[in-house]
Chains A and B, each alone.
Chain A
Amino acid sequence: MSEQYASTGLVFDEPLLWEKGSKGRQGFSMPVRDVEKCPLDSDLEGDLPDLPDLSEPDVVRHYTRLSQWNFCVDTGMYPLGSCTMKYNPKVNEKYAALEGFAGAHPMVPSFLSQGVLKLMYDLEGVLREITGLDAVTLQPAAGAQGELAGMLVINAYHRAGNKKHSKILVPDTAHGTNPASASLCGYRPVSVKSNENGILSARAISEVMDEDTAGIMVTNPNTLGLFEENVSEIARIVHAKGGQVYCDGANMNAMMGVVDLGRTGIDVLHLNLHKTFSTPHGGGGPGAGPVCVKKHLEPFLPVPRIVLKDGVYEIDEEYPDSVGRLHSFYGNFGVMIRAYSYILTMGFAGLKKASQLAVLNANYIRTALEGDFYLPYDRFCMHECVFSDKFQREDKVITLDMAKRLIDFGFHPPTVYFPLVVDGAIMIEPTETESKETIDQFISACKAIAREAKENPTLLKDAPSKSKVKRLDETAAARRPCLLG
């Protein structure tokens, strides 16, 4: 087999949905009409919905063809930094589809929902165990909503103490969504620079932390894949000025069973069930972003909460200090089932091993590619490592070209141009579910691309060459947007 694992095959073009079908076709098994027609006021009745009429085989072929144009975890490695694209176990899908779960109505009294509520209650419990924090809400629907929930909790805590702040510290190595989440809470993000080792220094924090600052949003491990070694000292400084410490836990996959978040001095943490806990990304969601807090912040968590009273699980709204509700119902239960199944399948030892192997894979790649690509922070990394295109730029090859060329080798590109602190960043997170053979293939693909950059950069500029479409003109698409057909 050659170094390039991507090949071309028979891929079909497929028209847009409404270019198919014929009026009068039906792809749905319409229930028998067992009641009489009841006339509707003609003022209320709209035109017939302008949707195409298709048969079931029309629909199945259309979407099957579309699906074949997608790269996915089940087809290949996704070394996307800070996204944790690990394997999504099949058995999780089976449990999510169980009739008792899939058919659970959210508005019936809790005595009819005991199975669902027990699962949620127990999931909260295992997340407390994993993080070392005291209380959990499962309500946020994704990481960014978890961030918002965390910041709202901090905001409510300060308000309860009659304190008002205008600023929040956000390091330059934090996740991209952090500033937008903070600004929804009325906080102006103040950027803090990481030091020459790629982490925050206690001094940098003490220089900017003041009584008008609500706290800090720290991503740990940060987006350089480095553990914030000074996190406890930073927490002490922030607490001394009355602030709270929010930790973005999107990178939890580096820390299970290794780091006890409860001991690091942080007050709030969000998790991404669709990253660390193996639930599928679904092409961009749905996810789930539970929030874990220390005891003093529990009264402010979103309502409703799930409580256990005399052996019965109940939905409790009675938290007068709560930030309020964040979801139409109780959060993404369909996602929670999958995460719960994953955690029980792994057990504590399995989770710890997963984090260790995720970190092993990342350090192995770091060591193997150092020399071929510029490594701005040459230290032990956690679950991801960050290179840049500094060496290749001499040959006029940039990160984007190398990322696109990886597609021809059968790999999804890494996260690129993030974090912003590294010019032309290439952020690689292999995850623990990739085997040594796959990692070795990825490394040789990267080395081959580094060689091509010197010897035949055109190959990179023209990449990808094997995908269904070539590079698309995103600038023109944004200039004259065509969003509906």
Chain B
Amino acid sequence: MRYLPHTDEDIRSMLEVVGVKCLDDLFPTVPESCQFIRENHIPGPFSEWELNDHMEVLAKKQSRSGNSRFIGAGSYEHYVPASVSSLLGRSEFVTPYTPYQPEISQGTLQAIYEYQTLVGRLLGMEVVNASLYDGASALAEALLMAVRITRKKRVAVSSAIHPHYRRVAETYLRPSGIEMVDLPYLENGRTDFTRCDPVEDLAAVAVQSPNFFGCIEDLKMICEYCDSNDLLSIVSFAEPLAYGLLKNPGSQGAHIVCGEGRSFGLPLWFGGPGLGMFACRKKYMRSMPGRLVGKAVDKDCKDGFVLTLATREQHIRREKATSNICTNSSHCALAAAVYMATVGGTGMRELATLNRDKSEYLKKELTKAGFKIPFDAPTFNEFVVKSPPGFEQTHRRLMEKGIVAGLPLASYYPELAGYYLLCVTETAGRNEMDELIREIRS
């Protein structure tokens, strides 16, 4: 076995030092009733080339979905530059542990400090943590944080937040008896936050922008409403690229910002690993979940970085910790930082604009082909259409050809039967969009 370095002679001499005769004798403390005696059915061992074949067969089964995909719904396809993948593949970034020993982990620590800073600038926030698992758990942690800060037991959550995120938040909140109040969406596709008014014991209002329908929420109005009603405003997001173009949540007054950062430099990977981005105002820093990297100086007064404010965390604060998170998405945070560095501020604006313009093009062409735009709030790279009669069959026929013409919304919002959520990023060419339209018309 190529990962196991011990020769028979090594094993013999080591067993002698330990004072036992064979490997089985190393387990005198395992009672007979707990021993592994059953037959097992684990395939292998496979040689490297046998496994190559096996994995390629599995991966090829996927290829039917092709490249013509007009679907986002929380997972947006963006081009990952070769330089980004190459840097991310360096052993020195892939194989270290959490940087608890700062003297020999300065690479990871500076990179994460830079990640915190770049995300802070993009979102307009004062404090950013070193990452959480994904957009869904980031929302759940944000709601728990709001409850901790305010000591209130209800949270209002927009029904236009990604349905999966809401379900995860429910899973996290239910056992603690925290109640989630659903805020309906308006006719224009934005959240009706005025429905918070009669709710008592409310800690926070959470919205997503752009929301699940692709609609850009009026964050300023929501944050002002929260401020004047003594509520915390939580802004979630699934597409960080939007803030390359749009006013960021921090500038609109958000208290806590949480979302999915996978768009920046990571493959789709069937939705995971993701990157939970998490930010807040400085005054809430000590209630924040997750790790933080901060500046420090060493014995010779040289600058460096350390994990800091650890007294919030589970290994020190135990059951009173701000979260149970330990392993996070550090390597994904690195990916986002390398991606942001590669694209740059000017490039981020250009790329975001291109995403929006392409999606506006498809929106316009679909309208010409008989689709309706049910929500008139502005959108970024994703939008909802109401399909003409008979589109369901077309949708299925296109799928067989490897063209995914959006996500049907009925299973998430029963009242939206016949409505589809479509997404266009920079990876879709105009010719692919034109082909989609041709297929739809035929």
State the CA gap A274–B285 with chains docked (Å). Answer: 29
B201 at the A/B interface (Cβ < 8 Å)?
A: no
**Contacting residues, chain B, for A347 (C-beta < 8 A):** 42-46
A40 at the A/B interface (Cβ < 8 Å)?
A: yes
B171 at the A/B interface (Cβ < 8 Å)?
A: yes
State the CA gap A72–B101 with chains docked (Å). Answer: 11
Please encode chain B, from 297 to 312, with 1 for each CB lying within 8 Å of some chain A CB and 0 for all others: 1111010111011110
Q: Which residues of B in the span 332-350 have a Cβ within 8 Å of any Cβ on A?
A: 332, 334, 337-338, 340-350
Give the nearest-CB partner of B431 in chain A.
A34
* CB pair A52 B104 closer than 8 Å: no
Give the residue among A108, A337, A433 with the most B Cβ atoms within 10 A. A108
**Contacting residues, chain A, for B151 (C-beta < 8 A):** none
* CB pair A129 B45 closer than 8 Å: no
Q: Which residues of B in the span 121-151 have a Cβ within 8 Å of any Cβ on A?
A: 121-122, 126-128, 130-131, 133-137
Surface stretch bound by A, among B89-97, B185-193, B224-232, B385-393? B89-97
State the CA gap A88–B107 with chains docked (Å). Answer: 19
Interface pairs A-B: 3 shortest CB-CB: A329-B271, A282-B331, A100-B59
Q: Which residues of A in the span 53-74 have a Cβ within 8 Å of any Cβ on B?
A: 53-54, 56, 59-60, 62-64, 66-74
- Main SS class of interface, A: loop
* CB pair B347 A98 closer than 8 Å: no
Give the nearest-CB partner of B421 in chain A.
A107
Surface stretch bound by B, among A18-26, A203-211, A391-399, A446-454? A18-26
* CB pair B103 A407 closer than 8 Å: yes
**Contacting residues, chain B, for A468 (C-beta < 8 A):** 103-104, 106, 304
Bin chain B's interface residue count.
Answer: 35 or more
> When A50-B345, A71-B105, A182-B319 are in contact, do A64 and B121 touch as well, CB less than 8 Å?
no
State the CA gap A472–B338 with chains docked (Å). Answer: 26
Q: How many residues of A contact B (CB 8 A)?
A: 198
**Contacting residues, chain B, for A346 (C-beta < 8 A):** 1, 3, 44-45
* CB pair A478 B3 closer than 8 Å: no
* CB pair B5 A474 closer than 8 Å: no
Between A and B, 23 residue pairs with Cβ closer than 8 Å are A29-B81, A34-B430, A44-B216, A56-B83, A59-B342, A69-B107, A70-B106, A88-B94, A115-B59, A115-B61, A118-B61, A232-B31, A258-B36, A263-B34, A282-B330, A328-B134, A328-B162, A328-B165, A350-B3, A350-B45, A359-B27, A483-B113, A484-B128
State the CA gap A130–B41 with chains docked (Å). Answer: 9
- The answer, among B81, B164, B216, for a CB contact under 8 Å with A329, is B164
State the CA gap A259–B73 with chains docked (Å). Answer: 43
State the CA gap A323–B342 with chains docked (Å). Answer: 41
* CB pair B116 A484 closer than 8 Å: yes
B329 at the A/B interface (Cβ < 8 Å)?
A: yes
Given contacts A23-B346, A328-B134, A472-B297, 20 further A-B contacts (CB under 8 A): A17-B118, A27-B344, A46-B243, A51-B118, A63-B341, A75-B92, A107-B73, A112-B62, A119-B58, A129-B42, A180-B324, A259-B30, A260-B35, A278-B3, A327-B164, A327-B272, A382-B29, A413-B101, A433-B4, A483-B308
